Chain A
Amino acid sequence: MEEKKHLLEQLHDIQDADKEHHLSPKKVVELSEKHGYSPAKVYGVETFYTMYSTEPRGKHIIRICENQSCHMANAKNIIQHLEKKLETSVGGTTKDGLFTLELSSCLGMCSVSPAMMIDDVPYGNLTEDRINEIIDSYKEGK
């Protein structure tokens, strides 16, 4: 268990330090060599937890909630709008490499649903206009 915890933390460290916010195969192989794990085993762990990505991601990660409360609050349209605004679909990264759009389970922000997080910053009461504002502010180099 201790070792497992250790592995998860180490994977976080690798991902946080990575400028493409993902677990690069090279880094994972180095880690598994260090711990005597097989890379296949570590891959099993990386792909089990949604917070890790095996693919390179954009500078900012947008996690939009799709759980019940947000769903009731019309999250579906909000997601569609985000996709249109970013010109990419869920799971994808924008052409300029600025954003990756991901779905998330409950963010604990049901009272202000629909909600999303960009990196560590939460945004609630989303509307199409508000989304445009937020995204543009990031684009302008916030």
Chain B
Amino acid sequence: MENKTVNIKINGNDYTVDGSLTILKACRQAGISIPTLCYMENICEEGSCGICVVEVAKSHTLQRACITQVYDGMEIQTNTSRVRQARKTILELILANHPQDCLNCAASEICELRKISYDLGIDETPFEPTKDLDLPLDTTSPAIVRDLNKCILCRRCVKECEIVQSVNVIEIAGRGINSKVSCFMDKGLGESYCTNCGQCIKVCPVGALTEKNDVDRVWDYLADPKKHVVVQTAPAVRVALGEEFGMPVGSLVTGKMAAGVRRLGFDGVFDTDFAADLTILEEGTEFIGRLTKVLNGESAHLPLITSCSPGWIKFIEHFFPKCLPNVSSCKSPQQMFGAVTKTYYAQQKNLDPRDVICVSVMPCTAKKYECLRPEMDDAFDHWKDKLMLKDEDHFQDVDVAITTRELGRMMKEVGIDFEHLPEESFDSPLGESTGAAVIFGATGGVMEAALRTVYEVVTGQALPKVELEIVRGMKGIRTADIPMVSADGKEIIAKVAIASGLGNARVLLEEVSNGTSPYHFIEIMACPGGCLNGGGQPISNDPNVCEKRAAALYSQDEAITIRKSHDNPEIKKIYENYFEKPNSHLAHELLHTSYVERDLYELEKEDN
């Protein structure tokens, strides 16, 4: 339909609005708020909850504002007693089947249902429950816990998983009071092709979806005097943690974060950014290697695709296993950090690697799954013969991964006054990092960081401008041509692409899969906007949350004097003293990995 305007009345006032709008959008434009529960713009517009009802003149029934289009002459009333009463009844009916567990619900502070109930002045529901609220918790996933008793069937998670992530692992199954969000054959999330991205957690209006809480495991390690417990914090954590303490969205809290974790009792306060720099050297070298081969007419798998995002890795393993040779063999920064901690660092500090515990703080739920992957135990393999370790000594490279939200909870638990903490720095030797590493937290950041190094290695010259604006931004898919002249005078145009969100990743992967991808290098992050909007980040209702957090990351990059990974002095040292050079034998042993072809429906197929 063409964009014609219509004249409508809202609560007696005249408005001229675009005729394609819904009542909800027209009202919001006019500054009139209408409560919603199931609605997410462009993602979930199914009108299932009914909380947004309004009165429309000449309509017998109340209309759902989120799915009803305006028409010329429409007269809308948003706050009559009939509307208020209907909304209350709808809420009371939802609440009749909702556990009254707010005191010990992880989502209590952000629960939209609780907030709307409060706003609408609900005290007690007069209705009897129609459901038995005794469905077992789904704890099959190492990343996500589902309590379907709390689910209000809004479908937001289903749509997020389908429309944004194109994973589509959950759907509403059954009908009537037996309806519930379900995986194929009612399997657990951990037994399905869920990627652990956690985007569903971020959209759930109640506490039905939460990360697996690993806080107590961290406390236990910290309380064990035999253990040397180190912590690493990912780039994106420092631009979001403040929000857990009421600071504005986009606050950069690097120094306070270091101070805060130190007060929790860690023996080493380190930075995943260090490992991000390491990743750039390893992955940059890998890229130059493959590119050179192809330019010399030899065969190599291009485009090279980044491997830092474990949700993305599980996605490609399930959906495009044939493209796995294109994925960089580099471990993610989290895992490189773990391997380095339990080898290089343990050696330097003269510690028994069995007593070193590596905790990571991540913006990500999929990291909980990544650290459990059986192939992520290279430090153990490294020491096995040297220290004659037995099977029961087995340890992971990273022992526990907690989310930004969980770190916030730990700090609250001990009463840390976060906002008034002093600015402190990370410990040495795994605390030094560059501006290139910090931007890993935003979509395009890994690409930009890699190009800062690759350009210099290939051309022998520094980038004309260190900020590569061309790869920045929040558009789901971005592409760029980077012209370079190699030291021997050859002209090369590196074609790069960046996608964030698995739905966008799928688009680029279809091309790789059918052999039409024109790119040399692709960066993919499972979460829309990159790690800064990861499934483990504080949940925010600010529509510009991604832009604000990205701006904070880029400002930190600018504030750091060293902005290229290969200039990081600690990185130079680790190569001099330990790894020798990028992609060396030892680097391959500890910093690189392999992937698993996962039949998408393997688990489903096996039972019949």
Contact = CB atoms under 8 A, between A and B. Distances in A.
Q: Do A and B come from one complex?
A: yes
Interface of A: 24-26, 28-29, 33, 38-44, 47-48, 54
28 contacts: A24-B608, A25-B185, A25-B607, A26-B604, A26-B605, A26-B608, A28-B184, A29-B184, A29-B604, A29-B605, A38-B169, A38-B171, A39-B185, A39-B601, A40-B169, A40-B192, A41-B168, A41-B171, A42-B184, A43-B183, A43-B184, A43-B186, A44-B171, A44-B172, A44-B173, A47-B175, A47-B182, A54-B185
Contact of A48 (B174, B184, B192): B174
Given A40-B183, A43-B182, A54-B185, A29 B601 contact: yes
Closest 9 CB pairs of A and B: A38-B168, A44-B171, A39-B184, A47-B173, A40-B171, A29-B601, A26-B608, A43-B184, A47-B174
A39 B603 CA distance: 12
Contacts of B170: 40
B182 A44 contact: yes
A11 to B, nearest CB: 14
A126 to B, nearest CB: 27
Given A28-B184, A38-B169, A41-B171, 7 more contacts: A25-B605, A29-B604, A29-B605, A33-B601, A40-B192, A43-B185, A48-B174
Interface string B172-204: 111100000011111000001000000000000
Q: Which of A29, A33, A38, A54 has its CB near the most chain B CB atoms (within 10 A)?
A: A38
Contacts of A41: 162, 168, 171
Q: Which of B175, B184, B185 has its CB near the most chain A CB atoms (within 10 A)?
A: B184
A137 B173 CA distance: 37
Contacts of B608: 24-26
B127 to A, nearest CB: 25
Q: Which of A28, A40, A47 has its CB near the most chain B CB atoms (within 10 A)?
A: A40
Contacts of B168: 38, 40-41
A77 B329 CA distance: 67
A7 to B, nearest CB: 13
Interface residues of B, number: 21
Interface of B: 162, 167-175, 182-186, 192, 601, 604-605, 607-608
B178 to A, nearest CB: 8
A48 B183 CA distance: 14
A25 B183 CA distance: 12
Contacts of B184: 25, 28-29, 38-40, 42-43
Contact of B182 (A25, A33, A40): A40
A32 to B, nearest CB: 8
Contacts of A38: 162, 167-169, 171, 184
A123 B601 CA distance: 42
Nearest to B167: A38
A36 B197 CA distance: 22
Contacts of B186: 43
Contacts of B185: 25, 39, 43, 54
Nearest to B603: A25
Contacts of A47: 173-175, 182
Nearest to A27: B608
Contacts of A48: 173-175
A10 to B, nearest CB: 16
Contacts of A33: 601
B118 to A, nearest CB: 33
A14 B540 CA distance: 46
A39 B174 contact: no
B200 to A, nearest CB: 13
A47 B186 CA distance: 10
Contacts of A24: 608
Contacts of A25: 184-185, 604-605, 607-608
B173 to A, nearest CB: 4
A67 to B, nearest CB: 16
Contacts of B192: 40
A33 B167 CA distance: 14
A46 to B, nearest CB: 8
Contacts of A43: 171, 173, 182-186
Nearest to B166: A38
B157 to A, nearest CB: 12
A24 B601 CA distance: 13
A50 B168 CA distance: 23
A76 to B, nearest CB: 21
A3 to B, nearest CB: 15
Contacts of A44: 171-173, 182
Contacts of A40: 168-171, 182-184, 192
Contacts of B601: 29, 33, 39
